[in-house]
Amino acid sequence: MNPVAMQNAEPLKGHHILVVEDEALIGMELAYEIESAGAFVTHVLTLEAALKSLDKTWSAAVLDINLRGKDVFPVADRLQQMGVPFLFCSGHGSHQETSSRYPGSRLLAKPVDEAVLLAALAEIVSR
């Protein structure tokens, strides 16, 4: 973990983070970076698995917007109803739709820098 990322590691220790990412390698990388900061991570690959995972208690979530042609918005809607903070992570698309639908939400562009990811997660779990 780089020194900047280490600064953001402490606030994530012990938190439970859901990563919804349909590209397995990207999801594993995101999970590894977040776990390196001391968080517990569950990575799911599909919209269906993400929806099923919402019966657990989450500190925050990282959501890929497009999951094999399906929008992640049903998951974001449920998380918002549950009061669970989340951020979007996408390799394409603009933040216009997500920011109008989820005011105050954040979009990180892929590939995501580890320090940026951890800082963004630290910010939303501390709210």
What is the tens place of the pLDDT at every residue in 68-116?
999 999 999 999 999 999 999 988 665 677 888 898 889 999 899 999 9
Q: Is residue 80 part of a domain?
A: yes
Q: Is residue 61 part of a domain?
A: yes
Q: Is residue 4 part of a domain?
A: no
Question: Which tokens hold the place of 82?
Answer: 């549950």
Domain that includes residue 88, residue range: 13-125
Strands 66-67 and 70-71 come out as antiparallel
Q: Is residue 3 part of a domain?
A: no
Q: Is residue 101 part of a domain?
A: yes
Q: Is residue 82 part of a domain?
A: yes
What is the C-alpha separation between 17 and 58, in angstroms, rounded?
Answer: 6
State the DSSP string of the chain: --HHHHHTTGGGTT-EEEEE-SSHHHHHHHHHHHHHTT-EEEEE-SHHHHHHGGGS--SEEEEESEETTEESHHHHHHHHHHT--EEEEESSS-SHHHHHHSTT--EEESSPPHHHHHHHHHHHHT-
pLDDT, tens digit, 9 for 90 and up, residues 107-118: 999 899 999 999
CATH number at 67 reads 3.40.50.2300
Q: Is residue 1 part of a domain?
A: no
**Domains contained in the chain, number:** 1
Question: pTM (2 decimals)?
Answer: 0.91
Q: Is residue 105 part of a domain?
A: yes
Question: Residue 20's pLDDT is what?
Answer: 98
